[in-house]
Amino acid sequence: MSSASASSALEASGIRVELDDGTPVVDGIDLRVNPGEILGLVGESGSGKTTTALSLFGHSGRGIVMTAGEIVVDGEVLEGDRRFQQARGRLVSYTPQNPGAALNPSRRVMQSVQDMIAAHRREADAEQLSVQLFERVGLPVERSFTERYPHQLSGGQQQRVCIAASLAPEPALIVLDEPTTGLDVVTQDRILKELLRLRDEQNAAMLYITHDLAVVSQIASRIAVMYAGRIVEQGPTESVLREPRHPYTRGLVASTPDHRRPRTLEPMPGVSVGVGEWPQGCPFAPRCPQRVDRCETAFPPTEQVTADHDVRCYEWRQTPPATAHSVVPGNVKSQEEHPQEPVVLEVRALHAEYRSRHETMVAIEDISLTVERGACVALVGESGSGKTTTGRVIAGLHPNATGEILLQGKPLPLHARRRSAEQRRCLQIIFQNPYQALNPRHTVAEEVARPAHVLRGMSRRGAREEVRRLLEAVRLPAATARRYPRELSGGERQRVAIARALAAEPEVIICDEITSALDVSVQAVILELLRELRHDLGLSLVFITHDLGVVATIAERTLVLENGVICERGSTGSILESPQHPYTRRLLAAAPSISLAAESWTLQGSG
């Protein structure tokens, strides 16, 4: 608010976007981005981040319309379809979430960039400029690469092509919509570093949209936090993350796992507010621990915390520090081993491959692990490292495998079909994608009752009782039993999937990236739920994830996989604190973390 608007790359004020029937989707959005600055727009799914971003282009989906607000980019007021049309690409460019879908599959990658140049900078030598752009984003410029089609590139390379294309018209503002979601941490880290370099070299202004506070702490100079279509807190990254003043921001920080500072997460109660459900007062009030009466009648005005840090909360002075009492130093080390507990699951020399008509690919080689009763063993690695295959082999779902699996000391056939009902009962699996985990044609009750019926021989009536008990165990209201998956959110679906696994009364549950499709606050709820279930039921977990922060939160022991081989194993504490294998070190160095960013703030502050 301090600098003059003429120098800003983006000055947006009072943006309101509505559905056709007048239901607000986002409201009162003020954003400012200066050249050489990256603004992180943070919020969970449904908070209106992408709607806000698209409104900067005068673009909105079907049945959505921008009804108020002023957008000034690089000193030009954008108004009316024509102005927006002319501004797209030239003044504002957009890098979408899914680069694979954003690139035309029938165009060679270099052509995609040249198309952008042809559309906006006809005077430029497209050939020469596109090579420069490829170099600038760190892509090879050999013919053998530039003439490839998008599907021949990795996800990270595709994303870089998109970034190169959005740089082509030299726009005043680059909008990046979750550009690294779905990429491996090492690739993500490289892209983040390149964005920082572009910011410095070109004095570029960027709006970086993400749900991940750890990522944004690494890259953004300022942060705007969205909740239910409104910005609830905005300020410099350091001050927002270190001393969040809005209880929602605080909740997000407390829900974000951090591999450098393992601690219990503090899940926020309740669920976020969707479009059309905005209450009269503050939308966060129903979940807020510090609400007062007026929160329920009026949405708080913007209040200044410091000159450039503002918040929309009446009680912001009461917000407790984000991490003061939740940090448990040495948490991981203290619960290292369970030597007295019996081994539930033992895997020896597991080997699996994928066969297609033409070739055989080795997916995992010589994987061995043991899981004690009540323990949680994490399998960590990038995509393609074989961690999911390992989980599927143990669950009996991967046909081309050899090796030995012992369940409670007795050998377990590798194929689920050859296992006894008792063996199948003991070992359950939960899948990554909650949107595909439940049969859309079955009610929650049918889905959860089935394992109890098939594997435990429960009568229909008994199973009905059991469903009620299990839904309570995963903190879902009893009425959920009658609902269909499509009526549930992602987090609720994943809780139903957990209930379905629990319905078998298993000894071991294999969790295959079960929180990676969920918002951080929902992830925190699920991780805490699993922790309690382990404690109460003596459950053992094999937890497959790519997120080292999650590992630090939940697992006592960790196995790091690289290209199908275990490259390092040990207690989570020792792996996170003193990794031995270079691959583990690389993973750790690339993993984003709020506390890592905090250290650099301290350094800057003192130096």
Partner 1 sequence: MSTAVATPSPPHSRRPRIPAFIAADRGGQVGLVFLVLIVFVALFGPFIAPHSPNVPIGIPGQGSIGGSPLGLDQLGRDVLSRALSGGRTALALGALATVATYLVGVMLGLLAGYARNTALDGITMRTVDIFISLPAILVMLVLVTALGGSSWVLVLGAAVVLFPGVTRIVRTAAAETATRGYVEAAVARGEKRGAILRREILPNIMAPIIADLGVRFSWSIILIASVNFLGLGLSPPASDWGLMISENRSVIPTNPWAVVAPALALVLLILGVNLLGDAYVRHLGRSSSR
Q: Give the residues lining the site for partner 1 (CB under 8 A).
A: 395-397, 416-417, 419, 421, 424-425, 427-429, 431-433, 435-443, 446-447, 450-451, 454-455, 484-486, 497, 500, 504
Distances (CA, A) of 431 to 123, 172, 495, 535: 52, 42, 11, 22
Beta strand 565-571 with 557-562 is antiparallel
Shortest distance, position 508 Cβ to partner 1, whole Å: 12
**Separation between Cα atoms, residue 275 and residue 273, nearest integer Å:** 7
Beta strand 427-430 with 508-512 is parallel
Q: Which run of H or of E encompasses 524?
A: helix 520-537
Order of all β-strands in the sheet with 222-227: 92-95, 173-177, 205-210, 38-42, 222-227, 230-236, 309-311, 303-306
**Separation between Cα atoms, residue 280 and residue 282, nearest integer Å:** 7
**Separation between Cα atoms, residue 256 and residue 211, nearest integer Å:** 10
CA angle 507, 510, 512 (to 5 degrees): 165
Single-letter amino acid code for the residue at 485: P
**First CA to last CA distance, the chain:** 27
Q: Which is nearer to partner 1, 29 or 445 (CB)?
A: 445
Phi, psi at 66, each rounded to 5° = -85, 120
Q: Which is nearer to partner 1, 191 or 508 (CB)?
A: 508
Q: 80: buried, middle or exposed (CB in 10 Å: 19+, 13-18, 0-12)?
A: exposed
**Separation between Cα atoms, residue 235 and residue 216, nearest integer Å:** 13
Long-range pairs for 127-134: beta carbons < 8 A, 24 or more residues apart: 129/168, 130/164, 130/168, 133/164, 133/165, 133/167, 133/168, 134/110, 134/164
Beta strand 410-411 with 401-407 is antiparallel
CB atoms within 10 A of CB 334: 10
Strand residues in 56-129 grouped as ranges (E): 64-73, 76-78, 92-95
Q: Which is nearer to partner 1, 128 or 436 (CB)?
A: 436
User: Does residue 448 sit in helix, strand or coil?
Assistant: helix
